[in-house]
Amino acid sequence: MSPASRTTYRVCFVCTGNICRSPMAEAVFRARVREAGLDALVEVGSAGTGSWHLGEPADPRTAAVLEAAGYPLTHTARCFEPDWFARTDLVVALDEGHAAELRALARNSTEAAKVRLLRSYDPEADPAEMSVPDPYYGGERGFAACLEMVEAAVPGLLCEVAAALGAREAG
């Protein structure tokens, strides 16, 4: 079944190990989707480009910053698989390296076109710096800064997803 023939719109956020940035983006986006009343129409997930943390929960610092901000998170790390392109409408990379890796995994230009950078949805983001920095090796401030960048980009992403859903209903 092609993504356009489904009623559910599927978004997958991708970072390196799927324990810091992508679960954070998943939690924030899922909350905004729910607030918009679209949770029955939008499926949200996340994955990593590498398998280092398969089966692990989110980094405790990610969990702490999300909890402090009121975002619920239930998470188990997984690795993005190339066949997921067929069942995913949008693959949102957290940095330029992830986007390049994902496009290299794509089997054709249609799949590669599904890959976007999260910060491209933030109208205030510097076009020269579209990556969300990896907070893993830093302190608590890095995780808070990551959350700020995610929260700034999610409204634009939600607008695009809502428009795509409207186009499906009209088509």
Secondary structure of 58-95 in the HEC alphabet? CCHHHHHHHHHHCCCCCCCCCECCHHHHHHCCEEEECC
Question: Contact 49/43 with Cβ under 8 angstroms?
Answer: no
**15 in catalytic set:** yes
Percentage of the chain exceeding pLDDT 70: 95
Determine which one of 6, 103, 134, 168 is catalytic: 134
Determine which one of 10, 21, 78, 116 is catalytic: 21
**pLDDT (tens digit per residue) in 67-102:** 999 999 999 999 999 999 999 999 999 999 999 999
DSSP output for the chain: --GGG-SSEEEEEEESSSSSHHHHHHHHHHHHHHHTT-TTTEEEEEEESS-TTTT----HHHHHHHHHHT--------B--GGGGGG-SEEEESSHHHHHHHHHH-SSHHHHTTEEEGGGG-TTS-TT-------TTS-HHHHHHHHHHHHHHHHHHHHHHHHHHHHHHH-
* Cα–Cα distance for residue pair 143/133, rounded to 1 Å: 9
Determine which one of 10, 12, 15, 61 is catalytic: 15
Residue 142, number of CB atoms within 10 A of its CB: 17
**39 in catalytic set:** no
**pLDDT (tens digit per residue) in 101-154:** 999 999 999 999 999 999 999 999 999 999 999 999 988 899 999 999 999 999
> Which phi and psi angles does 58 have, rounded to 5°?
-60, 155
Question: Would you state the pLDDT for residue 2?
Answer: 45
> Which phi and psi angles does 43 have, rounded to 5°?
-105, 130
Nearest alpha-carbon partner for 45 in 64, 73, 68: 73
Question: Would you state the pLDDT for residue 7?
Answer: 78
**134 in catalytic set:** yes
pLDDT, the chain, mean: 94
Bridge partners, residue 43, by sequence: 10
Domains in the chain, ordered, with CATH? 3-170 (3.40.50.2300)
pLDDT grade for 170, boundaries at 50, 70 and 90: low
